[in-house]
Amino acid sequence: MAFNTKFGTEDVSPYQVHSRREIISLLRGMQERNQLVSMEADGGSDSVVTSVLAVDEKTGIVVIDRAPSNMLNQRILESDNVSFETVLDNIRILFFADKVGECLYENLPALYIAIPATLVRLQRREHYRIPTPVANPLRCSIHVPPDDTGGAGTTVIVTLKDISGGGIAIVDEKKMLDNTIGRIYKACRIDLPGGSQVVVDLQIRNSHDYTLTSGKSIRKLGCMFVDPPKPMMSAVQRYITKLERERNAKATGMG
């Protein structure tokens, strides 16, 4: 499942929750904490902040607060594409509805949706990420195989933005790479300081285009290591530890 967010297009399939019990627990957590929830209709053309008023497991509905405007409520009721987003325990929660109805809750008008069959619990940063040096950036060589037209393959050299035990963020300045979510590039080579190299398969997990102050547009890609060998992971972790030690030394005035 690919989801378009303000952070770019990202694959949220690994973060989907299918357990009805867990989904209800998360929704009730939002209700008990009176958590603010962003509700968007028609792909974001209509947006309002709401909250979960009740979760009724027997009837299978979630009661949510109405928008302040009758006109906006009507557009939400007519929409077949409504998304909800909030943060619970520092974790982004996303869920969706293709139909919103009207109801009364404690004798006041409210809205309701069916308890979603799936919910996205977007727990990020399973691995600690650290920015790579700007003055002496790391490079990654990515081989792009020949296309279906029989054209020759090529090697694209990109700069690393950050690195973690689970993957890297790279800057594709010329937008030469296929940024399709899920796309895997084989045997990519990361050149570490000291002449050591790491070779690993990379999977595209998210993509976002930026416009620099100069007007130039560049692309940042988030990539996950695919089945990395243990020796490679050890080399990456040693490099991350070295970067962290250097950064801490600078912060304390000892570097």
Same domain, residue pair 89 and 7: yes
Residues 73 and 108 in one domain: yes
Strand order in the sheet with 16-17: 16-17, 119-122, 91-97, 82-88, 36-41, 46-56, 61-64, 108-114, 101-105
73/166 same-domain check? no
Tell me what the mean pLDDT of segment 126-148 comes to: 82
The model's pLDDT over 165-181, given as tens digits with 9 standing for 90+, comes to 889 999 999 999 999 99
- Tens-place pLDDT, residues 143-164: 998 876 666 789 999 999 988 8
Full DSSP string of 90-141: TEEEEEEES--EEEEETTEEEEEEEPPS-EEEE---SS--EEPPSSS--EEE
Residue 2's pLDDT is 47
In whole angstroms, how large is the CA radius of gyration of the chain? 23
pTM: 0.53
Residue where a domain stops, chosen among 122, 155, 172? 122
Tally of structural domains, the chain = 2
Q: In this structure, are 175 and 107 located in the same domain? A: no
Q: What is the pLDDT of residues 34-90, one digit of tens each?
A: 999 989 887 666 788 899 999 999 999 999 999 888 999 999 999 988 999 888 877
Average model confidence (pLDDT) for the chain?
A: 85
**Between residues 97 and 130, the one the model is more confident about:** 97
pLDDT at 149: 64
The pLDDT value given to residue 95: 93
Question: Is 9 within 8 Å of 206 (Cβ atoms)?
Answer: yes
Q: What is the pLDDT of residue 116?
A: 95
Segment holding 189, helix H or strand E: strand 184-191
Stretch 105-132: mean pLDDT? 83
* End-of-domain residue from the set 67, 97, 122: 122
- The answer to whether residues 36 and 56 belong to one domain is yes
pLDDT digits (tens, 9 = 90+) for 196-237: 889 999 999 889 888 877 788 889 999 999 988 888 888 888
